[in-house]
Amino acid sequence: MPRDIEPEVARLSDVYLYTVDDLSALVQTAGEKRQAAVQQAEAIIETGVQGFEHWLGEREAVPLIKALHQQADDWRHAEIARARKMLAKGADVDAVLEALTRGLTQKMLHGTMAELHAADASQRLQLAHTVSKLFLRQTPRDPADERG
């Protein structure tokens, strides 16, 4: 603590001289490194928390996803049974395949079409956007954009 060592001592080959100022600079540097590490750790934790919250939110949709799969499987089984009956009666394979795919398509779209027809004008626009996003994987163009 007291500066009773001459600075020239530091020139000796086997002597290391540290002053209070040197130690203060080391403490300052170490503090800055710790602060940077804390910020990195906080960012890692925040990313983990956001990922967990996203995963947790996805879990809420699991019952709906299961119900959709079950409905699709029920339709598939019904259409396969119908196709097998047609084949057993000697129907043309192409005609059976056509009927099978048409039946599945109609079953998949029936509820959506019914909702679109039943919706009022304000609901229909929002529903059209949702249906387009789900089935066409795009957002429909607004007819007003084409008029202007």
The predicted pLDDT at position 2 comes to 55
51-104 pLDDT, tens per residue?
999 999 888 889 988 999 999 999 999 999 999 999 999 999 999 999 999 999
The predicted pLDDT at position 148 comes to 46
Query: Letter for the amino acid at 103?
Result: G
Q: Please give the C-alpha separations between residue 147 and each of 108, 141, 144, in angstroms, as whole numbers.
A: 33, 11, 5
143 is written with which tokens? 């007819």
3-class SS of residue 61: coil
Q: Please give the C-alpha separations between residue 77 and each of 55, 88, 96, 101, 134, in angstroms, as whole numbers.
A: 32, 16, 15, 12, 24
146 is written with which tokens? 């084409």
> Rounded to two decimals, what is the model's pTM?
0.55
Count CA atoms closer than 13 A to 113's CA, side-chain side.
6
Q: Which H or E run contains 12?
A: none
d(CA 148, CA 140): 16
Mean pLDDT calculated for residue range 107-134: 91
Residue 135: which residues within 8 A CB-CB, separation 6 or more?
Answer: 112
3-class SS of residue 13: coil
The predicted pLDDT at position 61 comes to 87
